[in-house]
């Protein structure tokens, strides 16, 4: 999966399996240690193929403009990843 560095956080794209479907996600890892937070992207979709979900997660990672103080990804207005 892909990753991008932001001040204080590293964001990584990823995929998780939920039943027979896959969900695209981003994980936010604090630079100073601690537990990552996970954010589902393209929540209105589930994917039948893991590779397609991974591609969607990487696309969403590319659309992130920055991160909030708690590591939440920030997208452009109207874009939800």
User: Mean of the pLDDT values across residues 65-69?
Assistant: 95
Looking at residue 43, its pLDDT comes to 79
Give the bridge partners for 22, in sequence order: 17, 47
User: Mean of the pLDDT values across residues 3-24?
Assistant: 95
| Residue spans of alpha helices (H) in 35-79 | 50-63
How far apart, in whole angstroms, are the C-alpha atoms of residue 16 and residue 56? Answer: 12
Q: Is the dihedral of CA 33, 2, 54, 11 positive or negative?
A: positive
CB 71 within 8 A of CB 9: yes
Kind and range of the H or E run holding 39:
strand 37-40
């Amino acid at each position: 999966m892909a990753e991008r560095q932001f001040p204080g956080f590293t964001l990584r794209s990823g995929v998780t399996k939920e039943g027979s479907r896959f969900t695209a996600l981003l994980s936010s890892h604090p630079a100073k240690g601690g537990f990552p937070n996970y954010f589902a992207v393209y929540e209105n979709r589930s994917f039948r193929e893991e590779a397609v979900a991974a591609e969607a997660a990487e696309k969403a990672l590319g659309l992130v403009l920055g991160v909030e103080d708690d590591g939440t990804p920030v997208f452009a207005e109207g874009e939800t990843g």
